[in-house]
Structure 1
Amino acid sequence: MHHDSLQHFSDGLSTLVPAYVVSVIGSLIGLACMARAQGEPNRALKARWVVFGAFAIGGVAIWLMHFIAMLGFDVPDASVKYSVPPTALSAVVAIGVVGAGLSVVTLLRFTRMRLLIAGALAGLGVAGMHYLGMSALRFRGEVSYDPALVALSCVIAVVAATAAFWFTLVVRTAPARVAAGLIMGVAVTGMHYTGMAAARVSTDPSFPVPRGADAFDLVFPVFVTSALVVAALLWMLFTADDDALGEVA
């Protein structure tokens, strides 16, 4: 068995920049849904906005960002594939855990303790999605992790997610919400690359030839699906006030 170095930027910064931008876009939409839920008196509509926010943050800002960033991942002299089932499961985990975090601070009365719980749930959702997504890697070898860097990656995710929620719920101005989206983007990308720094690979020619999807073949349908989700959420955000006005009339 041979211990090898990893490449996280095999194509330069061409993966880091779009990964961060996508994460910020998903975060801004998700936090906007969260703010909309906070101001919605109808509990059913409030829950609907929470679900939308979970898809935006969990599905776009976290899940899509991860696989865009993974386009820059490479194990020298090894063919890297991705198993589809754990990849799909990682999306369910991200959306579900983030949704639970959003529910704590939007469907229940806001308190500082609930803010901390929500930030912890969302941050751990980021981390859980990352490491579950990494478990989908298939190559002739195996991955191990530096426990200290794994712990640091989780701390980064929890602290930044909590800060983003605080900006959205407590400081209710447009600049604060933009800042919250930028912070959430840092939470996701910072956690991702800290987690990747924790990874160590060992290649072994005796391992079977990997089976699964190539990175691009996996990212392309995910990207298209996420683009449709973003378009739908933006449409609902921009038309929600019109719908409300129509109901009043």
Structure 2
Amino acid sequence: MGHIHHAVYGWATPAISYVVACIGALLALRSTRWALISEGRTRRNWLIFASFSLGLGIWSMHFIAMLGFSVSGVEIRYNVPLTVLSLIIAIGVVGVGLFTVGYSNRPLLALPVGGVTTGLGVAAMHYMGMAAMRLPGSLMYDHVLVWASVAIAIFAATAALWAALNIRGTLAVAAAAPVMGVAVCAMHYTGMAAISVNLDPNETPPGGVVGLQFVFPLAVGLGTYVFASALAFAVAPSKNASRPPVFTGPVAPLRR
């Protein structure tokens, strides 16, 4: 059995991953609020933006936390196609949940449906990301902790969708984002606690790339996305400006 370290760099990776999860939640909540006061293509575009923000935030939290994961005596590598596919799944399932609540006329029904769908998708993203790991041996899972992590993912997804529907105002969104960040991190580390590694010294060294090779493109991608998000919110019209003007009296005729 391999000896597992969940934070080989100390508190650096858990702290950074938590901050990234909070940023993703903050951007997603703000985008969803804009979507709910918009119509037509504008609503669709804001929901797409929210899907990318939350999905990318959850996936980035997972991958940054995985940089601190190690097994004594072996080098962990990652299968690139599976890693990218886990990102696509994260964005896609979050989008399903947000569009479900964003366009439903019955939010009491849409909320649990969207929460369960999104939670299962987030769990699938996590375990597909784990399946992308390559090391000389095999991973084994404690099924009780696996199901606990799935339950936390469903709870976190439902809470996120509820917050998107009900929380208004910048301060309220800023307060809700750290809570969502805690829920996302709890799901991840519960799933990681379910792992044990059975090493096989006779196995051929695995292919793939080491996790640190993802750091530069991940940092550039996240930085660019946050900057673009700030610009999008800066140029977005106010709630009142997005509505047509209301005239309370007759319009005076133009004078020549």
- The separation in 2 between residues aligned to 1:69 and 1:5, in whole angstroms, is 17
- Find the counterpart in structure 2 of residue 25 from structure 1: 23
- Report the structure, 1 or 2, having the larger helix content: 1
> Which has more radius of gyration?
2
- Find the counterpart in structure 1 of residue 170 from structure 2: 174
1:80-91 → structure 2 map (5 Å cutoff)? 80-91=76-87
Alignment partner for residue 107 of structure 1, among 99, 103, 108? 103
Q: Tell me if the contact between 1:141 and 1:207 (Cα under 8 Å) persists in the aligned partners.
A: yes
Name the CA shift for 1:244/1:52 in 2 (closer, same or farther; >3 Å): farther
- The separation in 2 between residues aligned to 1:207 and 1:70, in whole angstroms, is 23
The AA in structure 2 aligned to 1:142 is S
- Find the counterpart in structure 2 of residue 13 from structure 1: 11
TM-score (norm 1): 0.92
- The separation in 1 between residues aligned to 2:117 and 2:219, in whole angstroms, is 25
- The separation in 1 between residues aligned to 2:106 and 2:13, in whole angstroms, is 37
- Find the counterpart in structure 2 of residue 56 from structure 1: 53
Alignment partner for residue 61 of structure 2, among 62, 65, 85? 65
- The separation in 2 between residues aligned to 1:179 and 1:124, in whole angstroms, is 25
Name the CA shift for 1:223/1:124 in 2 (closer, same or farther; >3 Å): farther
Tell me the number of residue pairs that the alignment of Structure 1 and Structure 2 aligns.
245
Name the CA shift for 1:102/1:14 in 2 (closer, same or farther; >3 Å): same
1:54-203 → structure 2 map (5 Å cutoff)? 54-59=51-56, 61-203=57-199
Question: Per-residue displacement from partner, 1:132-151 (whole Å, max 9, x unpaired)?
Answer: 11111011011111111011
- The separation in 1 between residues aligned to 2:114 and 2:215, in whole angstroms, is 29
- The separation in 2 between residues aligned to 1:27 and 1:210, in whole angstroms, is 35
Q: Tell me if the contact between 1:83 and 1:212 (Cα under 8 Å) persists in the aligned partners.
A: yes
Bigger Cα displacement from structure 2, 226-235 vs 150-159: 226-235
Bigger Cα displacement from structure 2, 25-34 vs 155-164: 155-164
- The separation in 1 between residues aligned to 2:100 and 2:35, in whole angstroms, is 12
Bigger Cα displacement from structure 2, 219-228 vs 185-194: 219-228
The AA in structure 1 aligned to 2:8 is S
1:47 and 2:34 correspond: no
> 1:244 offset after TM fit, Å?
9.1
Question: Per-residue displacement from partner, 1:17-73 (whole Å, max 9, x unpaired)?
Answer: 010001000110011111111110x221111111111110001x1111111101110
Q: Tell me if the contact between 2:97 and 2:161 (Cα under 8 Å) persists in the aligned partners.
A: no
> 1:186 offset after TM fit, Å?
1.5
The AA in structure 2 aligned to 1:126 is V
> 1:247 offset after TM fit, Å?
10
Q: Tell me if the contact between 2:37 and 2:239 (Cα under 8 Å) persists in the aligned partners.
A: no
The AA in structure 1 aligned to 2:49 is F
Secondary structure, aligned partner of 2:181:
helix
The AA in structure 2 aligned to 1:30 is A
Name the CA shift for 1:192/1:240 in 2 (closer, same or farther; >3 Å): same
- The separation in 2 between residues aligned to 1:217 and 1:89, in whole angstroms, is 17
TM-score (norm 2): 0.90
Name the CA shift for 1:74/1:180 in 2 (closer, same or farther; >3 Å): same
Q: Tell me if the contact between 1:160 and 1:186 (Cα under 8 Å) persists in the aligned partners.
A: no
- The separation in 1 between residues aligned to 2:222 and 2:117, in whole angstroms, is 22
Bigger Cα displacement from structure 2, 237-246 vs 49-58: 237-246
Q: Percent identity?
A: 41
Secondary structure, aligned partner of 2:236:
helix
Name the CA shift for 1:247/1:162 in 2 (closer, same or farther; >3 Å): closer
Structure 2: gaps of 5 or more residues: 246-256
